Amino acid sequence: MKRRVFSGVQPTGDLHLGNYLGAIRNFVRLQNDSECLYCVVDLHAVTVWQEPMKLAANTREVAAAFLAAGINPTNSIIFNQSQVSAHAELAWVFNCVSRVGWLNRMTQFKEKAGKRRENASTGLYVYPNLMAADILTYKATHVPVGEDQKQHLELTRDIAIKFNNDFGIDFFPIVEPLIFGEATRVMSLRDGTNKMSKSDPSDYSRINLTDSPDAIAQKIRKAKTDPEALPGPAALINEGKEIDPDQEKARPEAFNLLSIYAALSEQSLVSVLGQFEGAQFSSFKNKLVDLSVEKLGPIGNEMQRLMADPGYVDGVLKDGAMRANTIAEPILKEAHKILGFLST
């Protein structure tokens, strides 16, 4: 049997290079040998305030990015979360399986709620339970995400294990995170110790997928660096597979830009470090600009074309929701039976 893959992206605006290299590009690669569901998670987005008109446009933008990146809507299922009610229904069940102590450990909640924790929505708090429901309502087994979602997927595993134990049944699968590629955690161009993020107030901190070639070039040229020449393969440990943590700490911007180059050029980091060892940032940046424009330009153009045709995008989402629903419904029904919910 083909393995089933599920992943989600929030329609919160400004899709960036981190979303692409950490997640969306991997979605494309998995569709050949897996049954894939890719979801625009609008229910997750409203855990923080969203302007309704913008939310609708951003939902189409994420769907357009999926298509522009190369997800085939005939093989894979592309849809928005609110159209399949099983997500919200199973999330309620998981609110009753998951524990307050587990949610209290979630670092993303702490980061997002910040000092105004008392004022955060209760949805933001139970966000990881909904994420578990997204995945398990399809009994998906593999979940491609960026590094930052690892903890949420551990919680998904805990919820599945507890549900199975509580009811003495082997019902939900224990999901495997798929975190791969040379850029599973892309950092801000302004500060290599912060993650590249949609919510960073500075647009110069990220490369958006819809940026023009000029904007891409300008952002890379302005990206923070340090005064040293570029490091070589000696900065890697574990047979060239990992960056020495001390070196990375000392030069986070350099390693971030080099990792982006490796990911975009589909080379290993060790080979990129070999090529640029001792080079100056200025010449490396020129190469990075060319590569970024070459790889991201066509995706940005195709996104713009698709966003100008909302009828087509909406059709893809509608068809996807129907197909997703067909898989989710019977699984939810079975879960209800296990719980003892009477259906008359």
Nearest partner of 312 among 63, 38, 40, 42, judged by Cα:
63
Answer with the entry of ligand AMP, ligand TRP, none that 134 interacts with (C-beta below 5 to 8 A by kind): ligand TRP
End-to-end CA distance of the chain: 33
Q: Residue 139, interface with ligand AMP (CB under 6 A)?
A: no
Does 198 qualify as catalytic in the annotation?
yes
Smallest separation, CB 116 to ligand AMP (Å) = 20
Name residue 79's beta-bridge partners: 39
Cα dihedral: 308, 311, 317, 320 (round 10): -130
Q: Residue 22, interface with ligand AMP (CB under 6 A)?
A: yes
Task: For residue 76, give the 3-state DSSP assignment.
Answer: coil
Query: Computed from CA positions of residues 205, 208, 211, 213, in that sequence, does the dihedral angle turn out positive or negative?
Result: positive
Residues 94-133 vs ligand TRP: string with x where CB under 6 A?
A: -------------------------------------x--
Residues 175-214 vs ligand AMP: string with x where CB under 6 A?
A: ---------xxx--------xx-x----------------
Does 139 qualify as catalytic in the annotation?
no
The whole-angstrom separation of Cα 76 and Cα 328 is: 15
Q: Residue 58, interface with ligand TRP (CB under 6 A)?
A: no
Smallest separation, CB 108 to ligand AMP (Å) = 9
Which listed residue (76, 149, 205, 292) binds ligand TRP by CB under 6 A? 149
**DSSP 8-state secondary structure symbol assigned to residue 255:** H
Residues contacting ligand TRP: total by CB under 6 A: 13
Among 54, 139, 162, 198, which one carries the catalytic annotation?
198
CB contact at 8 A, 129 and 159: yes
Q: What is the largest CA-CA distance in the chain?
A: 73
Cα dihedral: 150, 152, 155, 159 (round 10): -130
Does 219 qualify as catalytic in the annotation?
no
Q: Residue 41, interface with ligand TRP (CB under 6 A)?
A: yes
- Which parts of this chain interact with ligand AMP (CB under 6 A)? 9-10, 18-19, 22-23, 145-146, 148-149, 184-186, 195-196, 198
